Amino acid sequence: MEPKERSSDKAAQEAIQLMADEGIENAWDRLDAQKPQCGFGKQGVCCRICAMGPCRVSKKAPLGVCGADADTIVARNFLRSVACGVAAHSDHGRTVAEVFIAAAKGEAKDYKLKDTAKLMRLAREFGVKTDGRDINEIGVEVGEIALKEFGKSEGHQLMTNRAPKSRQEIWDKHGVRPRAIDREVTESLHRSSMGVDQDYKNILKHASRVALADGWGGAMLATELQDVLFGTPYPGRGEVNMGVIKADEVNIIVHGHEPILSEMIAAASQDPELLEEAKKVGANGITVAGTCCTANELLMRHGIPVAGNFLNQELVIATGAIELMAVDVQCVMQGLGQVAAHYHTKLITTADKAKIQGVEHVSMDETKAFDTAKVLVKRAIDNFKNRGEVHIPQYKQKAVGGFSFETIKYMLGGSFRESFRPLNDNIMNGRIRGIAGIVGCTNPKVTQDYSHTTLVKELIKRNVLVLTTGCATIACGKQGLNNPSIALEYAGAGLREVCETVGIPPVLACGSCIDNSRLLVACSELVSEGGLGDELAGLPVVGACLESIHEKALAIGQYFVASGLLVVFAEE
Ligand code: NFS
Ligand code: SF4
């Protein structure tokens, strides 16, 4: 397959060709080797949950050995996938909560509670007393309440109270308001095991419940606590695509999802001593760039450059200019090890729950986070001398990122009356026809980034305001769609007028996949602002994920659905 069929991103095309010339495999080649992929698996009608199986249902044999039919098997597989996605986001949230508490207690001295205004808002929401109390004391209590959300024995997810009353009533009526996050995940595994829940409607109902434990639970907690720890994102400029890698500097790629690691590496790369060391080896500086959601987190908060999205992770190494890639959790391909072995790139895993056979592991301990980050940066500097030939595709685009819920509210209403009112008004008067959340991954089964960016252009042309997260954000960024001056050219007249008046681009980069929880809060705000109906289901809002790969995307899709929103999903 030609590089341009594999990716619509010019930098990626160049790197794909480079790898082909050198005979190094990447995800696209491995996909080709996997073809034809199993039709039963594709349809979700393969069950290997018990040892009487594996059972594959077909016309000839419509029931599994236990008698399970296709509906049950598909629903069980779906529930397990959603639960796994929820577990991933939520476990990220739990790590953040633990670091949050350690920071407040002064045990993780490199982290501080930065956004104290947001902390106070959370304290009020959680019923924590604030009068006359030390900020860290409040932080410990807020953090402990957040941590309890994972395993508490009674009550529902606290943040479901943020949804409009009408939506909460629907959840209660159907019995899907989520309890403790761990409980919903555990129950998903139980219900989908052999001989338990065998009514597909009942199984899917629990898929909603466990997904809601993510959107209004684990992912939302992760987002809120990260904002307090690292600062609530505010619009700032950055650059996106492989051209951000610098031929004359030490390049470090941070890849994965938790800013706990990447924030520290970014800070360590500014350390004067280390910059001096870099000079000594002949480098003009140290560049830190991100891939996947970690990149979005850093772009959102610090304007740190983004080297690419999911399918770029192997390609960036093929530039030959990456001294070190530090990875933590999620969406990290095992194939990175083989690619790195062809170059001088040092690949290092950092999360104790995510190691790769044959790859060096440096444990990221939150109590000595900055020191660990410095060790990693030093390793990168020492590796600079081992570089061979360098080919950096010279493509990059300017991007504005950092559209948190708070920022959007502020930009719309101004500092004196932060509010969504202008947005509601412009939807009501027809200048803006609706809002679309374009989310998710890049899948080698389809031309990389093409569906996301084509859809986004068509939407803004039709006066639909677009909010992006995850790898879809990076796809847009690479093609200039997060650059207001380029994106406005595609926008319809009504949308353009509003964006120019308010000073926002027509495509708002809202961050990583856990930041989809920000979209839920924004939708609730649209309802409470009035004029667009009193239920989430009535809003002119759609979520779309056209290049999904990960079970996390299914969790997001399902919590959007269970929140009453229209969702469009494509899977090849
Ligand atoms: Ni989301 Fe982020 Fe990308 Fe997909 Fe993976 S990085 S959490 S799962 S591939 S968008
Ligand atoms: Fe087959 Fe039923 Fe066992 Fe699944 S649970 S593997 S359908 S016997």
Residue 402 Cα to ligand 1 middle (Å): 18
Structural element, H or E, at residue 274:
helix 272-280
Atom of ligand 2 minimally distant from the CA of 72: 7
70-230 and 404-569 in the same fold: no
Phi and psi at residue 307, to the nearest 5°: -85, -20
CA distances from 331 to 171, 295, 438, 442, 552 (A): 31, 13, 19, 11, 10
In this structure, the strands spanning 46-47 and 55-56 are antiparallel
CATH 1.20.1270.30 fits 70-230, yes or no: yes
What are 319's strand-pairing partners?
none
pLDDT at residue 428 tops 80: yes
Q: Shortest CA distance to 68 belongs to which of 45, 99, 86? A: 45
What is the crossing angle of helices 421-428 and 405-413, to 10°? Answer: 70
Q: What is the pLDDT of residue 516?
A: 97
Task: Name which CATH class applies to 404-569.
Answer: alpha beta
Give the model's pLDDT for residue 337.
Answer: 97
- The ligand that comes nearest to the alpha carbon of residue 548 is 1
Residue pLDDT, tens place only, 67-116: 999 999 999 999 999 999 999 999 999 999 999 999 999 999 999 999 99
Confidence class for position 486, pLDDT limits 50, 70, 90: very high
Q: Which ligand is nearest to the CA of 88?
A: 1
Q: Distance from the CA of 256 to the center of ligand 1, in angstroms?
A: 9
Q: What is the pLDDT of residue 418?
A: 86
How large is the average pLDDT for residues 284-303? 96
Report whether CATH 3.30.930.10 matches the domain 242-386.
no
Q: How far apart are CA 244 and CA 247, in angstroms?
A: 10
Summarize pLDDT for 27-79 with one digit per residue, the tens: 999 999 999 999 999 999 999 999 999 999 999 999 999 999 999 999 999 99
CA of 293, closest atom in ligand 1: 2
CA-proximal residue: ligand 1, atom 5 (nearest): 331
Q: Residue 283 is encoded by which pair of tokens?
A: 């480098």
SS3 state of residue 427: helix
In angstroms, what is the span from residue 469 Cα to ligand 1's centroid? 9
- Domain range annotation of the chain: 70-230, 242-386, 404-569
Position 365 scores a pLDDT of 87
Give the model confidence (pLDDT) of 167-208 as tens digits: 999 999 999 999 999 999 999 999 999 999 999 999 999 999
Reported as a pLDDT band with limits 50, 70 and 90, residue 291 is: very high
Residues linked to residue 466 through DSSP beta bridges, in sequence order:
436, 507
